[in-house]
Amino acid sequence: MAGTTFGDALTGVALEIEMAEGSCDIGLIGLAVMGQNLVLNMNDHGYKVAVFNRTTSKVDEFLNDEAKGTKVVGDALGQGVVCGVEAAASRDVNGEGW
């Protein structure tokens, strides 16, 4: 995996997304200034966060700079973020299904 970027996943390079090994607590779409700060704040409070950005190079830059050494996971295709939202939306506040 060394040297593989999340942008490569969109061009057909096989990429193992870390989220396959475990799920994240929450996902965030958009890594502008506010999104980056929200992700880092959630990480600081113990949450494992999946991040997605339309411009995939922003994910690489964020993971290699500001989020280096954190539990933040990049999601090149947005699949983990969407799946996480769908799974959370299917439960009520007590964690029970609708």
Instruction: Give pLDDT tens digits for 60-93.
Output: 999 999 999 999 998 766 665 555 544 555 555 5
User: pTM for this structure?
Assistant: 0.62
The arrangement of strands across the sheet holding 49-52 comes to 26-29, 49-52, 73-74
CATH number for the segment(s) 22-89:
3.40.50.720
Residue 77, φ and ψ in degrees, nearest 5 = -105, -5
Boundaries of every domain in the chain? 22-89
Question: Left (φ > 0), alpha (ψ -120 to 50) or beta: where does 46 sit?
Answer: left
- Joined tokens for residue 27: 């996902």
Residues 16-66: pLDDT tens digits? 344 444 678 888 889 999 999 999 999 999 998 889 998 989 999 999 999
